[in-house]
Structure 1
Amino acid sequence: MHKKTVIFDLDGTLLDTLEDLAYAGNAVLAECGFPQHPVDKYKYFVGDGMRVLMERIAPSTCTPEKIDQCCTIFNRIYGECWHRRTTLYPGIENMLKRLREKGVRLAILSNKPHQFTTVCVDRFFPGQRFDLVFGQRENVKKKPDPAGAFEIAAKLDVQPADCVYVGDTAVDMQTGKSAGMFTIGVLWGFRTFDELRENNADLIVDHPMEIVDHVISAG
């Protein structure tokens, strides 16, 4: 069935941002005198917004005030390093191009702070056209709450049932399911097949062009 709109997560789905996120997170910890973490650990630290990231990487004894300070430091450091090692996953550019050629509308919904989401999209997708790009914004509940997904559907004048939500984590699958959208889990990102399956992904793919195959039927 031809779906009218595809909404993508960003980190771990379109962009491999792990090394820059880990660098910034560990730099925050170093500045605060806290122990640092291996880069791979950040695959499970990220995905739920910046504050939750700070809560996960900092010692459990940290006060809310200290977490606030960590967030401030992270904003400063990540604001300098967000583009250094971040890259598109292989096949992403061609996948987006093919979807656009088929008349599918494209959007991004991320738990990454909105200002970082938009600069990443501007930098790494200069030739791509997204109809809407939303990161985590004040007064809008973050994923897995479906508020952002519903907002995108409404602004693009499509029904949620005519949308596909694509992501790499449990949070993404929960978001799409809560919004009544078809969910596609991707295996090139930060999490595992089991996590996606346990969170009821409608489809799990290991190459971006499989998204095109399933969004646009042969007929």
Structure 2
Amino acid sequence: MYLETAEIGYAENHLYAGIRESLDKLKQQGKYRMGVCTSKRADFACQILALFDLHEHFDFVDGGDVGIEKWQQLQVLKEKGVITEKSLMIGDRYVDLTAAHRNGLQSTGVLWGYGSRAELEQHSPRFLFSEPSEMTQI
């Protein structure tokens, strides 16, 4: 039942305005390796990226597992050399920011997701973006 619901539900995702253009520009600039670190299962995350034809923008996709917290995902990515201390975690919830800080990474909060300005500011992100286009200016 869960798998069936999840498979139907993934198609209900949508892109926030400006995301595609910003990811296109970041990819074109070629200054950064970009990846996805999500609490979703990796196969679902890949399906969502494929749905929007965005998979080629990312160098890796790391999905969560039951009982694994976001900070632990980042820790493993660091241990494997997938990310480094120079990596920047971009997220819309406090869990993304605290996971970054716990792993010695800088963080960026984004206001077009689920978290509020107050929630994100409370966790001291290096940057706090209101619009996706701001990501292309770092």
Using the size of structure 2 for normalisation, the TM-score is 0.86
**1:127 offset after TM fit, Å?**
6.2
Report the Cα distance in structure 2 between the residues aligned to 1:141 and 1:135, rounded to whole angstroms.
10
**1:86 offset after TM fit, Å?**
1.5
Report the Cα distance in structure 2 between the residues aligned to 1:177 and 1:168, rounded to whole angstroms.
15
Is it true that 1:76 corresponds to 2:4 in the alignment? Answer: yes
Let me know the Cα RMSD of the aligned residues: 2.0
Question: 1:187 matched to which residue of 2?
Answer: 111
Report the Cα distance in structure 2 between the residues aligned to 1:126 and 1:96, rounded to whole angstroms.
8
The one of 87, 95, 98 aligned to 2:25: 98
Report the Cα distance in structure 2 between the residues aligned to 1:126 and 1:200, rounded to whole angstroms.
29
> CA contact under 8 A between 1:96 and 1:128: conserved in structure 2?
no
| Greater C-alpha Rg | 1
Number of aligned residues: 136
**1:209 offset after TM fit, Å?**
1.5
Q: Does the C-alpha gap of structure 1 residues 126 and 168 become closer, same or farther in structure 2, counting only changes over 3 Å?
A: closer
Report the Cα distance in structure 1 between the residues aligned to 2:84 and 2:55, rounded to whole angstroms.
27
Report the Cα distance in structure 2 between the residues aligned to 1:110 and 1:120, rounded to whole angstroms.
12
Report the Cα distance in structure 1 between the residues aligned to 2:22 and 2:39, rounded to whole angstroms.
22
**1:126 offset after TM fit, Å?**
4.1
Sequence identity, in percent?
22
The higher relative CO (CA closer than 8 Å, separation ≥ 6) is in 1
User: Unpaired runs of 5+ in structure 1?
Assistant: 1-72, 215-219
Report the Cα distance in structure 2 between the residues aligned to 1:180 and 1:122, rounded to whole angstroms.
31
Q: Does the C-alpha gap of structure 1 residues 126 and 200 become closer, same or farther in structure 2, counting only changes over 3 Å?
A: closer
Q: What pairs up with 1:3-152 in 2 under 5 angstroms?
A: 73-83=1-11, 85-103=12-30, 104-126=32-54, 128-137=56-65, 141-143=68-70, 145=71, 147-152=72-77
The one of 188, 196, 217 aligned to 2:120: 196
Q: Does the C-alpha gap of structure 1 residues 126 and 205 become closer, same or farther in structure 2, counting only changes over 3 Å?
A: closer
Q: Does the C-alpha gap of structure 1 residues 112 and 127 become closer, same or farther in structure 2, counting only changes over 3 Å?
A: closer
> CA contact under 8 A between 1:167 and 1:185: conserved in structure 2?
yes
> CA contact under 8 A between 2:92 and 2:114: conserved in structure 1?
yes
**1:123 offset after TM fit, Å?**
1.7
**1:169 offset after TM fit, Å?**
0.3
